[in-house]
Amino acid sequence: MKFDLATISRSAAALVGVLVTVVYLGVGWYQAHHVAQTEYTVTTDKKVGNLRVAFFGDSHLGSTFDADGLAEHLKTIEKAKPDLLVIAGDFVDERTTKAEMIKAAQALGDVNTPYGVYYVFGNHDKALYQPGIRDFSGDDLVAELEKNGVIVLQDESILLDDRFYLVGRQDASQEFDFGGSRASIADLMAPLDHSKYTIVLDHQPRDYAAEAKAGADLVLSGHTHGGQMIPLMQIIQWFGIGQNDRLYGIEKRDNTNFIVTSGISE
């Protein structure tokens, strides 16, 4: 299991560094049951101060660990002393039971960070690929998360402490797989004060050009599971195969930094 930590801090050059700690899961039993932490530092000249963002995605609750296992992983994340925790989708999937979902939401409610815990939907959280197979809905998930103090962002933004924005996007599957729609990143960013630092949560890393053009400072994604296997990941990334702009790690386009976690579960 892996998580990512992003830290924003002022550098000697009066820039602001953003440190992102990513939680991920690698291939194999050992990696699936042990926590690894990756830290990224990015810089900005915006006046955001010191900020540490813990970030994980793709827990697919029940696949590799249950709610008790998640609670143990969350304790490890808390030890990194993040200012906030963000979850980039696929917290649950079609196989997760309602009882485990409720227990996992309660575990998130026990996480103590200065700015709280935030969540966006992934493509599996609503179980739309296999309707009727699960004993709870996407609305039930939202209700349990919110009951436990987790803030769910669905094409919404929030300004925290007048310091920085979090923008949470609906998953791209709403548009590409299920015939619905989601707000464009341009529309979500338009009303914001662009002098403030903006972090975008977008489960699938497939809208980089638009997110950079809209002026996002940092975009956090999951979904890819790192391409599942390292050689496959490298081949896909080298040849630009597939719908994702990146499979794992960090890159910068214009003034926007993008980070993709390989996920906390298989």
The dotted CATH code for 52-260 is 3.60.21.10
C-beta separation of 246 from 229 below 8 A? no
Of 52, 33, 56, residue with least CA distance to 201: 56
The burial of 228, by beta-carbon neighbours within 10 Å (0-12 exposed, 13-18 middle, 19 or more buried), is given as middle
C-beta separation of 137 from 129 below 8 A? no
| Cα 243 to the center of its chain, rounded Å | 18
| Cα 117 to the center of its chain, rounded Å | 11
Question: What is the spatial distance between Cα 219 and Cα 28, in angstroms, rounded to a whole number?
Answer: 28
pLDDT value of residue 16 = 47
Q: What does each of the 266 residues of the chain score in pLDDT, given as a tens digit?
A: 456 666 654 443 434 455 655 544 444 445 555 557 888 888 888 988 889 999 898 887 877 788 999 999 899 899 999 999 999 988 998 899 999 999 999 999 999 999 999 999 998 888 777 888 899 999 999 999 999 999 999 999 999 999 999 999 999 987 766 678 899 999 999 999 999 999 999 999 989 999 999 999 999 998 675 644 444 545 544 444 457 656 778 999 999 999 998 777 65
Give the DSSP H or E segment for 201. strand 197-201
pLDDT value of residue 28 = 46
DSSP 223: S
- Mode of pairing for the β-strands spanning 249-253 and 218-221: unpaired
256: β partners: 253
- In angstroms, the first-to-last Cα distance of the chain is 9
Scanning the structure block, which residue is given the tokens 């009951």?
147
Does residue 35 sit in helix, strand or coil? coil
52: β partners: 7, 19
**Helices marked H in the chain — which ranges?**
29-32, 67-79, 98-109, 138-147, 173-176, 185-189, 208-214, 230-239
Of 17, 22, 20, 18, residue with least CA distance to 6: 20
